[in-house]
Structure 1
Amino acid sequence: MTAPSQSLDAPEHVDYTAISDTLYRYAAGLDLGDADLLTSALTEDATVDLGPAMRRIGYDFPPLTPRESVVTTLVGAVGPLDTSHSISNIRTTVDGDTAQAWAYAQAQHYLPGLGSQPDQTRHALMMNRYHAQLVRDGNRWRIRSLTIANAWFDGDPGVLLGAP
């Protein structure tokens, strides 16, 4: 998928910043295992499709929907891991109260409690491409649909499942 180029005026910059914050809330919710923060980034009918990323490394993972299922599944699976999701290269298009965003998400994963050990080499490092469809909810944007595709992977896929 190719995101359009953009030049922002002041109102568009406000939307861009708010949309970026939505992606940051999503990532921080994962890293902190914070269900409330993750919930704040998603609509009630949200769908998160990790299938394209997970199939690339050998796992079949169905789309998650609605928000309650997304949050429960992701906080349960990713929350216990030592993770760091960094969002970058955000591009947006806004059409009234709907928007699309494209971004890169580099995500480092270690087994619980091992991420800060300097001798720990077992990890799962992913560079993913996010494509989000968002809707305006008052002064905030929320993700209605997020598709995550993998650009590259390094490490042990078993770490993503908490496999010892």
Structure 2
Amino acid sequence: MSSIPSIPSLPPTLSPALTGREAITDTLYRCVLGLDTNDATLFDSAFIPSATFAINDKVSTGLPAIHTDTFDVITKLDTTHFLTNIRINIAEDGLTASATASALSQHYGGGKGVEPAQPSLMAGSLYFVELVKEEGSGLWKIEAFKMRVSWAEGDWAVMSGN
């Protein structure tokens, strides 16, 4: 892995309390920052245990499967994920919501991101996320995450560590 020092993570619950829309946006940020920093606690704080995570047509069900299929793959790489165009709709009950976002992700082999002329993969994606407000903590959590890769540029072999 990279010899670059890691960046510390902030806690899943921020202070002062976030507004509803800010808290939902923060859920998306916890997900992608958890991937980029290999922070399982932060990543897991964004999901309910039975969540689904779909990338195009491949669906993972439950947090253990999401770890195996996504977290364990992405966190071995040097990555950054950027989110923009986030739109949020909170249901009248105030306990469920949905969000959409555009994403740009960059992937390099683990420990190779700052080396010159390394193979890389950059992808543009659209996200659709269904969320629920957790009883007790009040944290918004992802119930269903759907990602459609719209385009990609570079070497797909980077994703498998080749």
- TM-score band, normalised by shorter chain: 0.7 to 0.9
C-alpha displacement at 1:37, in angstroms? Answer: 1.0
Please tell me whether residue 140 in structure 1 is matched to residue 139 in structure 2: yes
Which residues in structure 2 correspond to 1:28-67 (within 5 Å)?
Answer: 28-52=33-57, 62-67=58-63
Instruction: Say whether the 8 Å CA contact 2:86–2:101 is kept in structure 1.
Output: yes
Superimposed CA distance per residue, residues 86-141 of structure 1 (whole angstroms, 9 cap, x where no aligned partner): 11110000012000000011100001111012x22410000110000000013210
Match 2:88 to one of 72, 80, 92: 92
Query: 2:3 — aligned with what?
Result: none
Query: 1:73 — aligned with what?
Result: 69
**d(CA) in 2 for partners of 1:125 and 1:152?**
8
Q: Which runs of 5+ in 2 are unaligned?
A: 1-17
Q: Which amino acid letter does the alignment assign opposite residue 143 of structure 1?
A: I
Instruction: Say whether the 8 Å CA contact 2:56–2:149 is kept in structure 1.
Output: no
**d(CA) in 1 for partners of 2:40 and 2:65?**
11
Q: Secondary structure of the residue that 2:102 maps to in structure 1?
A: strand
Query: 1:57 — aligned with what?
Result: none
Q: Which runs of 5+ in 1 are unaligned?
A: 1-12, 53-61
**d(CA) in 2 for partners of 1:145 and 1:27?**
15
Aligned residues: 141
Q: Which TM-score applies when normalising by structure 2? A: 0.82
**d(CA) in 2 for partners of 1:121 and 1:72?**
26
CA-atom RMSD in angstroms: 1.3
Instruction: Say whether the 8 Å CA contact 2:102–2:127 is kept in structure 1.
Output: yes
Match 1:101 to one of 84, 99, 115: 99
Instruction: Say whether the 8 Å CA contact 1:93–1:100 is kept in structure 2.
Output: yes
Query: 2:9 — aligned with what?
Result: none
**d(CA) in 2 for partners of 1:68 and 1:15?**
28
Q: Which amino acid letter does the alignment assign opposite residue 105 of structure 1?
A: A
**d(CA) in 2 for partners of 1:71 and 1:143?**
14
C-alpha displacement at 1:75, in angstroms? Answer: 2.4
Q: Which amino acid letter does the alignment assign opposite residue 75 of structure 2?
A: G
Q: Which TM-score applies when normalising by structure 1? A: 0.81
Superimposed CA distance per residue, residues 41-94 of structure 1 (whole angstroms, 9 cap, x where no aligned partner): 001110000134xxxxxxxxx311101221243221010100001111100000
